[in-house]
Structure 1
Amino acid sequence: MAETRPEAGPPRPPEGTGAGTRGPSPWDRPEPEEIATARMVLEPLTPGHAGPMLPVLGDPALYAFTGGEPPTPDGLRRRYTLQSAGSPDRDRSWFNWILYVRGEGLPAGFVQATVDHGPAGPVADLAWVVGVPHQGRGLATEAALGMRDWLAAHGVRAFRASIHPLHDASAGVARRLGLTPAPGVDEDGEVRWASAG
């Protein structure tokens, strides 16, 4: 299982950012695109993904580290509609992709990023979830690397993630992304991982 709160919206934004409090964004936000990896296709999220994703998010075991519970069909459609519409904050962008393993037909999970594009440059908070039947195959790492590389190609240079301190699988993904953990835990009981620089 990968680290995020699958029952919630996009990853939590960094502290201290407020809607509409800055001048024009210095980052030229790209439109989400399909991302191809060695074994997967990452499709930009649409409300139509809600139905196929219900079984992925329906296993209570998926919430062992994040808390929460499986979404309802209506709740997931509303969430995906909101996420697909994009962030209302002009200094923040939401990116969400659904993971499809080639030849398997049904989705295996999702990756997402909240990009804060303030004066210091774009910083991405990353999250990933792989459904229980698909775990242990390296899909979270492959998808997260694909997402990171796509964001980096569009000017993002700093990356972060929040991970439960006992979630070894997600810590492994973060290490593969080049992130290192900060000491201690934050107010949510999670370890903040960040790229160097």
Structure 2
Amino acid sequence: MAVVLGDPALHTFIGGAPLSPEELRERYERLVAGSPHPTVSWHNWVLRHRAEDRLIGTVQATVTGHHEAEIAWIVGTPWQGHGYAAEAARALVAWLIRHYVRTVTAHIHPTHTASAAVARAAGLSPTEEEHDGETVWRLSLKA
């Protein structure tokens, strides 16, 4: 995953810089250990390209005890523009709904049209809300 996520271009909208393999390993160890808060759960998956039999990205969800989830995705540069992020985000949202999540949000930079398209494909819509300069996208289901 360090190679997949190692392109500095992936950080254009989210900021920061690629993690070293050691830093990424430490991050994944923290994620596997789970949230320290008892009413918050972390769900993280890597995306695998079946035909190439290689990892190409990630999807993640932070779920609270209030049936709410915040989601994010990232696909390595060589695999962008092929619908992999949209497919993964749709699958993630469907999984969350099956597990009783009723509100799904994502934070997307206002000029990141590719991520906006992924959010829209997953059923989210932009709101008037902003968080740290990003537009909050939301899907709300009735309880």
Compared with structure 1, are the counterparts of its residues 173 and 92 closer, same or farther at alpha carbon in structure 2 (3 Å cutoff)?
A: same
Work out the CA distance in 2 between the residues paired with 1:185 and 1:155. 26
Give 3-state SS (helix, strand or coil) of 2:65's partner: strand
- 8 Å CA contact 2:102, 2:140 repeated in 1: no
Matched, 1:147 2:92: yes
Work out the CA distance in 1 between the residues paired with 2:80 and 2:21. 23
Question: 2:65 maps to which residue?
Answer: 117
Give the alignment partner of residue 77 of structure 1, picking from 21, 25, 28: 25
Matched, 1:196 2:134: no
Kindly provide the CA deviation profile for residues 2-36 of structure 1, in whole angstroms up to 9, marking residues without a partner as x: xxxxxxxxxxxxxxxxxxxxxxxxxxxxxxxxxxx
Give 3-state SS (helix, strand or coil) of 1:54's partner: coil
Figure out how many residues of one structure are paired with residues of the other and give that number: 141
Shift of 1:182: 1.6
What is the one-letter code of the residue matched to 1:61?
A: A
Give the alignment partner of residue 138 of structure 1, picking from 77, 83, 107: 83
* Greater RCO (CA < 8 Å, at least 6 residues apart): 1
Question: 1:182 maps to which residue?
Answer: 127
Give 3-state SS (helix, strand or coil) of 2:14's partner: coil
Work out the CA distance in 1 between the residues paired with 2:128 and 2:99. 30
TM-score (norm 2): 0.94
RMSD, aligned CA: 1.1
What is the one-letter code of the residue matched to 2:96?
A: L
Identify the range of structure 1 (134-143 vs 145-154) with the bigger mean alpha-carbon deviation: 145-154
What is the one-letter code of the residue matched to 2:35?
A: S
Give 3-state SS (helix, strand or coil) of 2:57's partner: strand
Give 3-state SS (helix, strand or coil) of 2:137's partner: strand
Runs (4+) of structure 1 moved beyond 3 Å? none
1:27-176 equivalences under 5 Å are 53-118=1-66, 122-176=67-121
What is the one-letter code of the residue matched to 1:192?
A: V
What is the one-letter code of the residue matched to 1:59?
A: D
1:14-29 equivalences under 5 Å are none
Work out the CA distance in 2 between the residues paired with 1:154 and 1:170. 24
Question: Which of 1 and 2 has greater Rg?
Answer: 1
